[in-house]
Amino acid sequence: MGFGIRSAAWALVAGLAMTPLAGWTAGEADERPAVDQMLQALASTDHAGFVARGTPEFAAIPQAQFGEVAAQVGPALKAGYELQRLGDIRRGGQVMGVWKVTPGQGADDWLATVSMTPDGRVSGFFLR
């Protein structure tokens, strides 16, 4: 499988501002509202909404970079989506929640990972 510009942009918007919090995970009750808000923000190209729950480092994601990703995934998300939490993974000292995102219009499923601080702020978000 090749690594195209499309997947590169998704990784760029999501891969910033990961803060190691070894052994800690937020869980579904904290993650679902944050993931939902970020996906809705991508659907409506709302940069402020996307970074609203983020740490200051996460909020520094450039608007242009966010816009590139929103242009790619927004149309499928506007048609609606379903979220299913799959569990947790450890990566680089970080515990992340793993989510299956099923966009509307019969698009392929996506995998999202989110990391949060103990005070409920998003410190990282990946969408693949």
Residue in the block written with tokens 């999501």: 14
> What are the percentages of helix, strand and coil residues in the chain, rounded to 5?
40, 25, 35
pLDDT in tens, 68-121: 999 999 999 999 999 999 999 887 777 889 999 999 877 799 999 999 888 889
The CATH number of the domain holding residue 38 is 3.10.450.590
pTM above 0.85, yes or no: no
Total domains in the chain come to 1
pLDDT in tens, 21-57: 444 556 778 899 999 999 999 999 999 999 999 999 9
For residue 35, give both structure tokens. 């993931």
| Range(s) of the domain holding residue 91 | 5-127
18-22 average pLDDT score: 47
Angle between helices 63-78 and 5-14 (to 10 degrees): 110
